[in-house]
Amino acid sequence: MNYISISDKDKKEMLSRIGLNSLEELFTTIPESVRLKRDLNLPGPLAEAELLEYFEARAQENTYDQYLSFLGGGAYDHFIPAVVDYLSSRGEFLSPYTPYQPEVSQGTLQAIFEFQTLICQLTGLDIANASLYDGATGAAEAVLMAYRVKGKRRLLIPSNLNPQYKRVILTYTKNLDLEVMEIPYDQAGQMDKSSLEEALKVEASVVLIQSPNYFGVIEDLKTLSEVTHRAGALLAVVISEPLALGLLEAPGKLGADIVTGEGQSFGLPLSYGGPYLGFMACKKDFVRQLPGRIVGQTVDVEGRRGFVLTLSTREQHIRREKATSNICTNEGHCALRATIYLETLGRQGLKELAWINLQKAAYALKQLTSIPGVSRKFSGPTFNEFVLEFPENWEKISAALKEKRILGGLSLGQRYPELKDCALVTITEKHSRDKIDRYVDALKEVLR
């Protein structure tokens, strides 16, 4: 297949209108020396039926679905209502570009405006953008944004930050002559407050906090915000499991200046890591430094409400090298899915789902820690993930569980050598009691 709509007759007539004899002649500006003199060495063409076979075969080489999985740590397996797939797969949503012509893009623009509103409501902040690539780049953009606001070269990040997010922050800041300093965690699994106070004796632009953090522990944002603001820095909060916001107080209400995070939990399948959805919100004072597209409300010449891309003087196509970020294409369709998802769950459904996750995780924690030798590592409050400590190296236990077709959690030892006997266990609404009990029974056998 080549999806071409030009017939041989068209081709001849079109060439003759152009005044050429062959397709070859269209390319005379390309020097002979760099022309490809052979066919590309590619497989195909495959017919549609063959493509299906090819990808079915690849899908079958993935055996992940034969395992009962308790993996999370930045990517979460949540139930997706049928309307999300159904509505988002409409060609009118999938096949337009960035809404540069607002008069024929009101669907996309109004959906993004609703998305921005939902993110503001969840985060408790004034303004949200139309999306970023993912939670990790969101975290990096957040610290760079705080640097643009404050101008201090020091950026403080937590050691209990998702390791992917940390790596991306380091990649983004490396070339900009910025100092990234890590604040250790305490016994509760939270950011160590005295270390933060100590670190803030030297001026910094930002304190980044993840909550719930990589250990699943909810941070004391109110206190951390006071410490941060007393020292004149901005508080940026990053969230990898935004479902927690269905229950937890909005970070903006607790002092956060910027809130960013990963929106995958909101109606995006795990998809082996992408596409995902970065979101970002901030206080209105900082809007000129916010990266990415923003949709705003306006009126047309007849006074009817409409929506447009706005505040584009922050952006690369106007400001070029002086832009707040180089982002152009974002994650529009993922934001649309999140919008449909959040509006489907609504005021009651989101809260209930967060509560179900909380309760199931509490049950799993109780059952798993009732096994001799298994204990809860950190005392801080958790949402739907927690760290367990085992009597021996987790890698060994993990391998034994894998034999029983269970992926019992993420190992932490590589990033945190002191946690080599620990694992991060994640529970969602998709874990029925039966599945949790199967894990408990398997672990008992493994540790026997």
Partner 1 sequence: MINLVREPLIFEISSPGKRAINWPELDVPETKGLLSEVPIREDLEDFPEVSETEITRHFTRLSQMNYCVDFGFYPLGSCTMKYNPKINEKVAAMPGFTLVHPLAPESLVQGNLRIMKTLEKLLAEITGMDAVTLQPAAGAHGELTGMMLIRAHHVAQGHPRKYVLVPDSAHGTNPSSAHICGYTVKEIKSNEKGTVSVEELVKVMDEEVAALMLTNPNTLGIFESDICQIADIVHAKGGFLYMDGANLNALAGIARPGEMKVDVLHLNLHKTFSTPHGGGGPGSGPVAVKKILSPYLPVPVIEEKEGYYYLDYQRPQSIGQVRSFYGQFLVIIKALSYILSLGPKGIREMAEIAVLNSNYLRKSLEGIYHLKYDTPTLHECVFSDKFQKEYGVSNLDISKRLLDYGLHPPTMSFPLVVHGALMIEPTETESRRDLDMFIEAMKAIDREAKENPELLTSAPHVTYVRRLDEVQAARNPVLRWEQKK
User: Does position 151 bind partner 1 by CB under 8 A?
Assistant: no
Residues 207-236 that bind partner 1 (CB under 8 A): 218, 221-222
Residue closer to partner 1 (CB basis): 46 or 198:
46
Segment interacting with partner 1, rule: CB under 8 A, options 22-30, 195-203, 226-234, 368-376 = 22-30
Query: Per CB under 8 A, which of residues 376..405 are in contact with partner 1?
Result: 381, 402
CA-only gyration radius of the chain, Å: 25
Distance (Å, whole) CA 385 – CA 111: 31
Q: How far is the CB of 137 from partner 1 (least distance, A)?
A: 5
Q: How far is the CB of 118 from partner 1 (least distance, A)?
A: 7
The only residue of 21, 203, 230, 328 in contact with partner 1, by rule CB under 8 A: 328
Is the CB of residue 268 less than 8 Å from the CB of residue 292? no
Scanning 41-49, 229-237, 385-393, 440-448 for contacts with partner 1 by CB under 8 A, the matching segment is: 41-49
Nearer to partner 1, 53 or 198 (CB): 53
Cβ atoms of 345 and 353 within 8 Å: the answer is: yes
Residues in the chain: 448
Residue found by looking up tokens 């029983």 in the block: 404
Please tell me whether residue 358 binds partner 1 under the rule CB under 8 A.
Answer: yes
- Please tell me whether residue 26 binds partner 1 under the rule CB under 8 A: yes
Report which of 169, 167, 209 is spatially closest to residue 191, judged by C-alpha positions. 209
Candidate residues 150, 152, 154, 293; the one interacting with partner 1 per rule CB under 8 A: 293
Told to check if 351 binds partner 1 by CB under 8 A, we report: yes
- Is residue 293 within 8 A of residue 270, CB to CB? The reply is no
Gap between the Cα atoms of 191 and 370, Å rounded:
28
The footprint of partner 1 on this chain (CB under 8 A) covers a number of residues equal to 203
Q: How far is the CB of 154 from partner 1 (least distance, A)?
A: 17
Binding mask of the shown chain, residues 301 to 320, with x at each position contacting partner 1 by CB under 8 A? xx-xxxxx-xxxx-xxxxxx
CB 293 within 8 A of CB 315: yes
62 near partner 1, judged by CB under 8 A: yes
4 binds partner 1 (CB under 8 A): yes
Decide: is 110 part of the binding site for partner 1 (CB under 8 A). Answer: yes
Q: Is 192 in the site for partner 1 (CB under 8 A)?
A: no
Q: Smallest distance from the beta carbon of 138 to partner 1, in angstroms?
A: 10
Are residues 68 and 405 in contact, defined by beta-carbon separation less than 8 angstroms?
A: yes
- CB 367 to partner 1: min, Å: 9
DSSP label at residue 160:
T
- Return the residues of window 239-278 that contact partner 1 according to CB under 8 A: 245-250, 253-254, 262, 269-276
Q: Please say which residue, 362 or 447, places its beta carbon nearer to partner 1.
A: 362
Q: Which of 410, 419, 423, 446 binds partner 1 (CB under 8 A)?
A: 410
Cis peptide bond upstream of 275, omega within 30: yes
Q: Give Cα 353 to chain centroid, integer Å.
A: 19
Q: In terms of DSSP bridges, do strands 278-282 and 305-309 run parallel, antiparallel, or are they unpaired?
A: unpaired
| Least distance (Å) between residue 26 CB and partner 1 | 5
Burial of residue 17 (number of CB atoms within 10 Å: 0-12, 13-18, 19+) = exposed
Question: If you write DSSP's letter for every residue of 161-179 in order, what string do you get?
Answer: S-HHHHHHHHHHHGGGT-E
Separation CA 430–CA 345 (nearest Å): 16
Instruction: Pick one of 157, 371, 423, 436: the residue that binds partner 1 (CB under 8 A).
Output: 436
Token pair of 178 as six digits: 């910025």
Q: Strand, coil or helix: what is 195?
A: helix
Choose one: 149-157, 198-206, 226-234, 322-330; the region binding partner 1 (CB under 8 A). Answer: 322-330
Q: Which two tokens stand for residue 61?
A: 């080489």
Residue 343 binds to partner 1 (criterion: CB under 8 A)? yes
Shortest distance, position 202 Cβ to partner 1, whole Å: 23
Element holding 362 (H helix, E strand): helix 332-369
Q: At what angle do helices 106-123 and 332-369 cross, to 10 degrees?
A: 30
Q: Does 413 help bind partner 1 (rule: CB under 8 A)?
A: no
Among 187, 285, 392, 433, binds partner 1 (CB under 8 A): 433
Residues 66-95 close enough to bind partner 1 by CB under 8 A? 66-67, 69, 71, 73-75, 77, 81, 83, 85-87, 89-95
